[in-house]
């Protein structure tokens, strides 16, 4: 029983970080219907920016959020405005975004491999080497801090969407772009802002992941599959769904890792994706499309 509880503790801690990784992607899809296949590549980019700040200026990875989030926010706004804004009304918009974001991920991977090489990297603050012990249980300090910050950011995003005028405009755009435009919402600006916020969340995830996991330029390939599974399971466009699905799958993966083996742990995500598409295609919190 002690082992099971310990596994659940570690699984839930990682689940919060996974939720942060997927929250930006689900927001971007909810507002603009963009399946951002470069989302994990932007996370890796933020992780490398954090790594560079840590090695060059000895800046703590947590403190580096004040750099990575604004930087990625601006990158997101420029990226959307440059490549997608003028094509939003194109009937092939979804196809265009898939191809463009896929290519973007490969470009980011190539640039990072050229600059930093392909070896494994990580930031190593002091708290990454210690854990908190309580009775027979423990939790690594790095995972606990990452969990707390992830939850704070996700709750902050939820409050922004629920209790601000801009947040209401974002939610209106998510529900019906045309209707939102009719009642005076500047859909183009809201889309640009939302993409920036989505990448700001990716920037935060990159900073936190830099001391929780090791990473390398091609790591985004593994992460994008996991993030897609989390987003689809929770329901495309649902922030609450992303959080719940992340906690469920991270815990399930931790149990599989312990009882069967680490090689089978990633299969947990894809098996969940297969089952949800088979029995509930709209996801746990998604709305069924009437056709």
285 is a domain residue: no
Provide the pLDDT for residue 94: 83
What is the share, in percent, of the chain residues with pLDDT greater than 70? 98
Residue 161 is encoded by which pair of tokens? 């969407």
Q: Is the pLDDT of residue 164 over 80?
A: yes
What 3-state class would DSSP assign to 139?
strand
Half-sphere exposure at residue 35, Cβ-oriented, CA atoms within 13 angstroms: 15
Q: Is the pLDDT of residue 88 over 90?
A: no
For residue 187, what is the domain's CATH number? 1.10.3470
287 is a domain residue: no
- Containing domain of residue 33, as a range? 2-279
Provide the pLDDT for residue 290: 46
Q: Rounded distance, CA 286 to CA 280, Å?
A: 9
Give the residue, 30 or 110, on which the prediction is more confident: 110
Radius of gyration of the chain (CA): 19
Tens of pLDDT along 243-287? 999 999 999 999 999 889 988 988 999 999 899 989 998 898 876
* 3 state SS for 75-127: HHHHHHHHHCHHHCCCCCHHHHHHHHHHHHHHHHHHHHHHHHCCCCECCCCHH
250 is a domain residue: yes
Average per-residue pLDDT for the chain? 92
Provide the pLDDT for residue 176: 86
Task: Tell me the average pLDDT across 71-82.
Answer: 97
Q: Is the pLDDT of residue 140 over 90?
A: yes
What is the share, in percent, of the chain residues with pLDDT greater than 90? 77
CA 157 to chain centre: 13
Residue 272's alpha-carbon distances to 86, 237, 247, 279, in angstroms, are 36, 18, 13, 11
Predicted confidence band at 60 (pLDDT cuts at 50, 70, 90)?
Answer: very high
130 is a domain residue: yes
CB 211 within 8 A of CB 44: no
Residue 284 is encoded by which pair of tokens? 């746990």
Tens of pLDDT along 104-119? 999 999 999 999 999 9
Provide the pLDDT for residue 236: 83
Q: Rounded distance, CA 265 to CA 249, Å?
A: 10
96 is a domain residue: yes
Task: Tell me the average pLDDT across 5-20.
Answer: 93
Residue 12's alpha-carbon distances to 144, 222, 223, 235, 258, in angstroms, are 10, 20, 18, 20, 15
Q: Is the pLDDT of residue 223 over 80?
A: yes
Write down the pTM of the prediction. Answer: 0.94
The answer for residues whose C-beta is within 8 angstroms of residue 87's C-beta and 6 or more apart is 93, 96
Q: Is the pLDDT of residue 289 over 70?
A: no
**H or E stretch covering 161:** helix 141-163
CA 265 to chain centre: 19
Task: Tell me the average pLDDT across 200-223.
Answer: 96
291 is a domain residue: no
286 is a domain residue: no
Residue 38's alpha-carbon distances to 25, 87, 220, 225, in angstroms, are 10, 18, 8, 11
Strand intervals (E) in the chain = 131-134, 137-140
Provide the pLDDT for residue 197: 97
Residue 204 is encoded by which pair of tokens? 């935060």
CB 101 within 8 A of CB 227: no
Task: Tell me the average pLDDT across 174-198.
Answer: 91
Give the residue, 2 or 150, on which the prediction is more confident: 150
Provide the pLDDT for residue 291: 41
Neighbours of 6 (CB within 10 A): 16
206 is a domain residue: yes
Predicted confidence band at 86 (pLDDT cuts at 50, 70, 90)?
Answer: confident
Strands 137-140 and 131-134: antiparallel
**CA 255, 287, 246 angle in degrees (round to 5)?**
20
Helix 39-57 vs helix 187-212: crossing angle, to nearest 10: 50
Predicted confidence band at 215 (pLDDT cuts at 50, 70, 90)?
Answer: very high
Predicted confidence band at 288 (pLDDT cuts at 50, 70, 90)?
Answer: low
Domain count for the chain: 1
CB 205 within 8 A of CB 17: yes
Provide the pLDDT for residue 255: 92
Q: Rounded distance, CA 252 to CA 261, Å?
A: 12
């Amino acid at each position: 029983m002690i082992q099971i509880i310990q596994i659940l503790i570690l699984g839930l801690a990682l689940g919060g970080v996974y939720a942060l990784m997927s929250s930006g992607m689900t927001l971007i899809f909810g507002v603009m219907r963009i399946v951002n296949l470069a989302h994990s590549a932007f996370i890796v980019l933020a992780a490398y920016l954090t790594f560079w700040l840590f090695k060059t200026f000895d800046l703590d990875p947590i403190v580096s959020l004040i750099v990575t989030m604004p930087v990625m926010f601006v990158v997101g706004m420029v990226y959307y405005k440059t490549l997608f804004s003028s094509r939003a009304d194109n009937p092939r918009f979804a196809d265009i975004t898939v191809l463009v974001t896929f290519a973007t991920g490969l470009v980011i991977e190539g640039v990072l491999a050229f600059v930093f090489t392909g070896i494994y990297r990580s930031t190593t603050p002091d708290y990454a080497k210690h854990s908190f012990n309580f009775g027979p249980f423990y939790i690594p300090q790095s995972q606990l801090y990452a969990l707390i910050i992830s939850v704070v950011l996700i709750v902050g995003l939820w409050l922004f969407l629920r209790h601000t005028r801009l947040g209401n405009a974002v939610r209106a755009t998510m529900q019906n772009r045309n209707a939102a435009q009719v009642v005076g919402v500047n859909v183009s600006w809201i889309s640009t802002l939302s993409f920036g916020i989505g990448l700001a969340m990716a920037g935060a995830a990159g900073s936190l992941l830099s001391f929780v996991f090791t990473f390398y330029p091609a790591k985004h390939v593994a992460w994008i599959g996991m993030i897609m599974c989390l987003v689809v399971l929770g329901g495309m466009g649902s922030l609450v769904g992303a959080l719940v699905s992340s906690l469920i799958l991270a815990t399930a993966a931790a149990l599989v890792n312990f009882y069967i083996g680490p090689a089978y742990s990633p299969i947990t995500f894809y098996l969940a994706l297969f089952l949800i598409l088979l029995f509930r295609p709209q996801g746990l919190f998604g709305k069924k499309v009437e056709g």
